[in-house]
Amino acid sequence: MSEALMRRYYQTYNGEDPEKLSAFYHPDVELHSAQGVMQGRDAVLETYRYLVTVFEDRMEPTRIVIEGDTATVDITDKLTARDQVDDFMGASLSAGETLTLELTGTYEIDDGRFRRITIAMRDGGTA
């Protein structure tokens, strides 16, 4: 695990290309977030495809701490609605309106790919 890997991941994430992003995920990746637990690369990419269809989703890492096979990353996530969004995490957004989330992500790597990801609101809630 390295800071360079994490920066490449966020650059790829922001590029809105699920095929390129899939290379970062272990086939059995688990993603823990406000939506619950997603199991497997296909489920994680399905969620990603939904997000980038509804929003321009830009994640910016503001702090990256590497400890062995784990990275803890503070993230500013700006989600700009492409069209009207009636309910996303309790918010209603008009087209062009931006929701900014302050998140912390914990990424555990196995065999060179993310095996477990936990995304939480920085105030302690789950995103």
Tens digits of residue pLDDT in 40-71 = 999 999 999 999 999 999 999 999 999 999 99
Please, what is the average pLDDT of the chain? 94
In angstroms, the first-to-last Cα distance of the chain is 23
Nearest to residue 104, comparing CAs of 124, 79, 89? 124
Model confidence at 126, pLDDT cuts 50, 70, 90, reads very low
Query: What is this structure's pTM?
Result: 0.90
Please name each of the domains of the chain with its CATH number. 3-121 (3.10.450.50)
Q: What is the pLDDT of residue 116?
A: 98
Model confidence at 90, pLDDT cuts 50, 70, 90, reads confident
